[in-house]
Amino acid sequence: MSRYRLPSRRSLAAILAVASLPVAALAQDDHPHAGMLRYPDVSATHITFVYANDLWVVPREGGVARPVASPSGPEQNPRFSADGQTLAFVGNFDGDRDLYTIALDGDTPHRVTHHPANETFSDWTADGRLVFSSWLYPGSHAHGPGLYSVDAGGGMPDRLPVPYGGNGAVSADGVWLAYTPSIRENRTWKRYQGGLAQDVWLFNLETNASQRVTDYAGTDTSPMWHGEKLYYLSDNTESGRLNLFVHDPATGEKTQVTDYTDNDVKFPSIGPGTEGQGEVIFQLGTELMLLDLGSGETTAVDITVPGVRNALRPQIVDAAELIMDGGVSATGQRAVVEAR
């Protein structure tokens, strides 16, 4: 049994206070890459995304972004309206995560939903409603959240006629709802093939007929409509990475669209494209990528986020309350600790 004991928490805190060193800053050039731009969407003229828990927009061609909204906590899933002039997103301005809309040029955010349950926003419909999933009525759908739509101006949500699900997208003609019965986009379960593995389903909102689109054992998710074609994410690839696929409901044919092997395609969203040909924007590592559905070409969008980034400055960190583990040398003269 060791004759030395681990120093007390107070002693370790004192050691850290004496030995604290500045945190190294990340190397920056004249036009630093912002990094970790998440939840993108694209209109005919602009791109929106979430960075550092704030909502930003930038011209579709890239450039210097500008902030749009900065409520407490993180924003998620911003989406442009059909005319590209309004953004809907999940935010927390009033102490709860709800759906909000805001004009592209800023102004006062409008709160759309008011239920204490959290909402996960999916998309706009062609007639200006917002599709989202939520546990609005606990116990009424024990296997998962329900799918709802609500007028962008507010009012009571309407339950969509499927038992439960998320990632809802309604076709432009209002006939087909594409969705996944389960939701796990923000879980870190790569190459998962368990009981919550997702599949894409179609539900006819006129006839109430349903159709299973995918039956792969892994992940099929994030359905998006462009005309009569259905795009979605799947890791049914040779590399096991999430990539974009397209499904033709008329023929049942499925085709892999992208073939990335180093990173997963994340958080895709579809836009009209510059000439109506359609394009998909998505996160790939630290980049935002635009896929032109007409030409099949993919390009990275060069975006600069302006302003002071305090987290990147050299700084002293007090780790006294963050100690996780430690040990002492055989002489008792030195100690090593693990923190942060």
Q: What pLDDT is attached to residue 44?
A: 95
Q: What pLDDT is attached to residue 184?
A: 83
Q: What percent of the chain is predicted at pLDDT more than 70?
A: 87
d(CA 199, CA 209): 17
Across 294-299, average pLDDT:
94
Mean pLDDT, rounded, of the chain = 87
**Does residue 26 surpass a pLDDT of 70?**
no
Across 163-189, average pLDDT:
91
**Does residue 320 surpass a pLDDT of 60?**
yes
Q: What pLDDT is attached to residue 310?
A: 66
Across 259-280, average pLDDT:
95
Report yes or no on whether pTM surpasses 0.75. yes
250 against 184, higher pLDDT? 250
Confidence of residue 141 (pLDDT cuts 50, 70, 90): low
Q: Which of 315, 303, 225, 310 is nearest to 269 (CA)?
A: 225
Six-digit token pair at 190?
A: 């790569």
| Paired residues of 131 in beta bridges | 123, 149
d(CA 301, CA 306): 16
Q: What percent of the chain is predicted at pLDDT more than 90?
A: 68
Q: What pLDDT is attached to residue 245?
A: 98
Residue 45 CB burial class (10 angstroms; 0-12, 13-18, ≥19): middle
Across 246-275, average pLDDT:
95
DSSP H stretches of helix in the chain? 9-19
Q: What pLDDT is attached to residue 35?
A: 67
Residue corresponding to tokens 């902030």: 67
Q: What pLDDT is attached to residue 162?
A: 94
Q: What pLDDT is attached to residue 312?
A: 65
Six-digit token pair at 327?
A: 């040990």
- Amino acid 259 reads D
Q: Which residues contact 151 (CB under 8 A, 6 or more apart)?
A: 112, 128, 129, 130
Six-digit token pair at 132?
A: 């989202």
Across 232-243, average pLDDT:
96
Confidence of residue 195 (pLDDT cuts 50, 70, 90): confident
d(CA 138, CA 148): 14
